[in-house]
Amino acid sequence: VRATDDYAFKSTLATDEPLAEGETRIVTASFRDPVRVIPLTLEGAARAQVDFRLVDGSGAFVMAQRAGDPLGESNALGRGSRGNVVFPLEDSIALALGDDTAASVIVQLPVEFTRDSIQVKVRWQRDVGA
């Protein structure tokens, strides 16, 4: 979903170009483009570690999911805390890919309404420590 005008939503493709192993990309989401989906170029990787860092904005939801697990693994990044919860500026998610040949990274605006954009640095590598 993408907003082209205030309070007007139209569908659009939210998928970005594939992210190769070792490539670093700054992913931007905004109230007009609240969700970005980035496919990973796996090339036979059995395990992957995806690193996220909030570069700009108040917070973000980040997710890594493989084709066989549509729920994936997710975390919240942010500046500051809410109650007893302190949100980290960066985090990593490990994926066991098994027989899956496709995986994606998702960057999403936090739940709170904001007109500010967010930027998250995303990078992945094969997890050789498994």
Name the pTM for this structure.
Answer: 0.83
Residue with tokens 């659009």: 12
Contacts (Cβ under 8 Å, ≥6 apart) of 6: none
pLDDT at 115: 77
pLDDT at 99: 77
pLDDT at 84: 79
pLDDT at 129: 60
The residues of the chain scoring below 50 in pLDDT are none
Backbone angles phi, psi at 46, to 5 degrees: -90, -30
